[in-house]
Structure 1
Amino acid sequence: MMREKRRENLCVTVPTLFRCPISMDVMKSPVSLCTGVTYDRSSIEKWLSLGHNTCPATMQTLLSAHTTPNLNLRRLIHLWLSHPDSSPAPPSTSKRQIREVVKGAVNCDSLSKIVDFMKASEENLKFIAFSDDAVSKYVEFFGNCKEIEVCELIVELLDMILSENGAKERLNSLILKSGKDCLSSFLSVLREGSVKSKIKSARILESIAVDSESQRKIAEKEGILYGLYSLIAMEKDRLAIQAGLTALLAISTSRPVRKELILFGIVKTVGEILSSFDFSITVRAVIEKALGILETVATCTEGREAISEDEKCVVEIVKRLMKCSNVATEHGITVIWSVCCLSRDPTAQEKVTKVNGLTKVLLVMQSDCSAGTRQMCRELVKVLKSYGQVW
């Protein structure tokens, strides 16, 4: 039964749209999940902090726990709160008006109108996403943009259309194959933008790294690799770290890129991440990506040496086995196998043995793991048993 709000003895019906699906109260700070459902920020943050990884209304598994402020809805709620006895009949921007905005000058005001229009409904978002004039114009402007506020708004716009069919391929072509220097603008956002804008930039770069040529172009742009690395090394926000790790995984497909990451200190940074994050489901994606990066750098000699020598890395990997997810465990086994069996590094073997790694490996071998992981476990058991007898 719909709740009612009383003000000065007048019974006022609260529009369903304004209620948080969790608390059923009028939303103070409406934010939207990747599923498109909007909640009050305090309610959804509490839900996520309890370890849930689903959308409460749809029970869909969340691909990302990132929330986007629903500015249009917030304005409508504020308008209604000012005049609760009147029906909310907010002025909406028409498609004809938006076409005129697109044709006009590109600045913070016009871009804000476009972004608000897109946030208002799925139909509006698709209208912009499939508009060749709008997307190509803003990407072209982005390639020559020097104003960080404008760059951030264009990044927000591009991030919003990523989920639409064909958007990744289209943005790949517009950003990387058009001759425009969009990567410099992404670099500016990674250096000077807000944390949210940095996250969105990383997400776009990861999404357009669709093939080896794209990965190479992004990785070879001076400063981009370090900008993404800085997200995981300098930011404390979980979503920023996850976005940085995901983007680095997408473009770290060549040996030179991996060696550069090793020189940045990727192994030490990931070791710190593994030791500082808990075992809750909300950080599962971070742990999986962190171990995935270690598996990637462990394919080269320099990476295996750095992993063996790091104070925390090997120990934290062993602790994570069977604690996070099957994906994380298989990444972890591959890294341990690389340093203990492939490199036969006695330092790594000692660290694994000291934290009861042999028992952990035996447990993994008996679990529902892949055939390749099980074979690596067998080899690890032999090596660790031999080391244990000598030790």
Structure 2
Amino acid sequence: MMILSWRRRRGGHRTSKPAFVEDNPGMDLAIPTHFLCPISLDLMKDPVTLSTGITYDRESIEKWIEAGNEICPVTNQVLENFDQIPNHAIRRMIQDWCVENCARGMERIPTPRIPVAPRDVLEICSKIMTATQRGDHKKCMELVEKIKRWGRESERNKKCIIENGSGCVLSALFESFSSISIQEHEYLLGETLSLLIWMFPLGSEGQSKLGTAPSLRCMAWFLKERNISSCQNVILVLKELFSSDEKHVNAFAEIEGVEEDLVKIVKEQTCPKSTKASLMVIFHLISSSTSSEKTISIFLELGLVSLVLEILAGPERSMSEKALRILDSICNWEQGIKKASDNALTMPVLVKKILRVSNLATDFSVSAILKLCKSQEGGDHQQVEALQLGGFHKLLVLLQVGCGEKTKEKVTELLKLLNQQRGRLDCFDSSMDFKYLKRPSL
């Protein structure tokens, strides 16, 4: 027997009220040595035995193996295999011992679920493919729910599910039932999307299935339905899909009404995660090589410039970076420059964000200001406004504290443009010194 103070055990089983500690502070609890994991020295919750015959807690031995070790920690023998056989006898003994000592603060350790094995995932994937080919909605739903349950049980299960091709199989299921009837198979399609969001990257085959016309139409349909959970899942899938391959962007943009749905999601800001993902989807739609003037026009008519400027009024760094990225992309288009120039907040916000948020935000701000100042219509006015707002000084400070080469070139070009306007401003004070300013910490 090994005597350990239950109060001092590290990482042991937590109890809601360790009565023996409060009522009998000097009492120690005797824990049988063979109930302890040889690695963590904690009471085993899920005892498993290796090929060497030594029993460990599953979590501890998995970490040992994942670290690249190929020997048994106790015997130092090379492991013939990495199989972990549940030791039900020890586990039942531990549970009985916990029950016997419940009056001393112990709680019964629940029976652990057996982790999913690769063969289990491969088997269920095979069944999904067969059911999908038959159009068996009921069987597919049963199998999808089973995968969902597995994923909920542990991160280890999720990893196993991802590594054994589930993403590609579920993408094929999604495409197939989207082609048949979205309304009829709404629940199955929604549940499939909820699984796909944690399976990226899917690989080229899985992405191609999600990038087909039926799949994209189905996702657009979910956006219009305004179900919060489904919308969030769609947005997250689209963000990953567009980030991986922009060839799907144009196909999605051709679906009527998607611009309005995306702008609504950003306006409502029901969830920061989906709002950020929506901003990235919008960015891809207006900045990819396949973007059309029609898409840009629709976004501008929906008030995208005002919307991103409103977001930039907030303090959230990641949101500001994404909003500035969009504003910079808008300024790649003449109609976008005009819309941005017409908004009285554009230049003040852009100048303010230099050296205020992050290096990335500063890069986008400088890029957008340069595009506005170089525009054929209203460029001179933008230059004067940038000067009045202290843009010249901020750019000098930016050169002083340092920035990337591309941004440095843009800053230099901007300074030359603004320098031409200095004579028109009585308010310019060349004695101002900004050496005390520091680059924002990241």
TM-score in same-fold range (> 0.5): yes
Partner of 2:15: 5
The correspondence for 1:198, drawn from 224, 231, 244, is: 231
Question: Aligned equivalents of 1:85 and 1:312: distance in 2?
Answer: 62
Partner of 1:227: 261
Q: How does 1:246-265 map to 2 (within 5 A)?
A: 246-252=280-286, 253=288, 254-256=291-293, 257-265=295-303
Question: In 2 relative to 1, CA 353–90 (structure 1 residues): closer, same or farther, beyond 3 Å?
Answer: same
CA shift, 1:329, in A, is: 0.9
Q: For the Cα contact (< 8 Å) 2:328–2:364, is it kept in 1?
A: yes
CA shift, 1:383, in A, is: 3.0
Question: In 2 relative to 1, CA 183–322 (structure 1 residues): closer, same or farther, beyond 3 Å?
Answer: same
Q: How many residues align?
A: 316
- Unpaired runs of at least 5, structure 2: 1-9, 21-28, 32-41, 47-105, 426-442
Per-residue CA deviation, residues 153-193 of structure 1 (Å, 9 max, x unaligned), is: 12112212113xxx14223311234xx51122211222234
Per-residue CA deviation, residues 80-135 of structure 1 (Å, 9 max, x unaligned), is: xxx94243334777828846973463476653332222343134422663475544
The correspondence for 2:367, drawn from 334, 348, 368, is: 334
Partner of 2:219: 186
2:315 is the alignment partner of 1:244: no
Per-residue CA deviation, residues 213-235 of structure 1 (Å, 9 max, x unaligned), is: 32211111222233223222332
Question: In 2 relative to 1, CA 386–335 (structure 1 residues): closer, same or farther, beyond 3 Å?
Answer: same
Question: Aligned equivalents of 1:131 and 1:374: distance in 2?
Answer: 43
Question: In 2 relative to 1, CA 140–337 (structure 1 residues): closer, same or farther, beyond 3 Å?
Answer: same
Question: In 2 relative to 1, CA 134–332 (structure 1 residues): closer, same or farther, beyond 3 Å?
Answer: closer
Partner of 1:268: 306
Question: Aligned equivalents of 2:145 and 2:421: distance in 1?
Answer: 63
Q: Cα RMSD over matched residues?
A: 3.3
Question: Aligned equivalents of 1:14 and 1:287: distance in 2?
Answer: 48
Question: Aligned equivalents of 2:107 and 2:221: distance in 1?
Answer: 44
Partner of 1:105: 137
Segment drifting more, 239-248 vs 187-196: 187-196
Question: In 2 relative to 1, CA 108–360 (structure 1 residues): closer, same or farther, beyond 3 Å?
Answer: farther
CA shift, 1:334, in A, is: 0.8
The correspondence for 2:177, drawn from 116, 137, 141, is: 141
CA shift, 1:200, in A, is: 2.9
Matched letter for residue 173 of structure 2: K
Question: In 2 relative to 1, CA 131–288 (structure 1 residues): closer, same or farther, beyond 3 Å?
Answer: closer
Question: In 2 relative to 1, CA 202–133 (structure 1 residues): closer, same or farther, beyond 3 Å?
Answer: closer
Matched letter for residue 259 of structure 1: S
Q: How does 1:4-23 map to 2 (within 5 A)?
A: 4-5=14-15, 9=19
2:348 is the alignment partner of 1:315: yes
Matched letter for residue 117 of structure 1: W
- Unpaired runs of at least 5, structure 1: 18-82
Partner of 1:362: 396
The correspondence for 1:129, drawn from 151, 156, 165, is: 165
Question: In 2 relative to 1, CA 108–389 (structure 1 residues): closer, same or farther, beyond 3 Å?
Answer: farther
Partner of 1:46: none
Partner of 1:116: 149
Question: In 2 relative to 1, CA 159–212 (structure 1 residues): closer, same or farther, beyond 3 Å?
Answer: closer
Segment drifting more, 118-127 vs 352-361: 118-127
SS in 1 for 2:15: strand
Question: In 2 relative to 1, CA 6–289 (structure 1 residues): closer, same or farther, beyond 3 Å?
Answer: closer
Structure (1 or 2) with the larger CA radius of gyration: 2
CA shift, 1:269, in A, is: 0.7
Partner of 2:78: none
Question: Aligned equivalents of 2:384 and 2:371: distance in 1?
Answer: 14
2:210 is the alignment partner of 1:175: yes
Q: For the Cα contact (< 8 Å) 2:235–2:278, is it kept in 1?
A: yes
2:335 is the alignment partner of 1:325: no
2:112 is the alignment partner of 1:89: yes
CA shift, 1:9, in A, is: 4.9
Question: In 2 relative to 1, CA 135–382 (structure 1 residues): closer, same or farther, beyond 3 Å?
Answer: closer
Q: For the Cα contact (< 8 Å) 1:148–1:188, is it kept in 2?
A: no
SS in 2 for 1:232: helix
Question: Aligned equivalents of 1:134 and 1:294: distance in 2?
Answer: 36
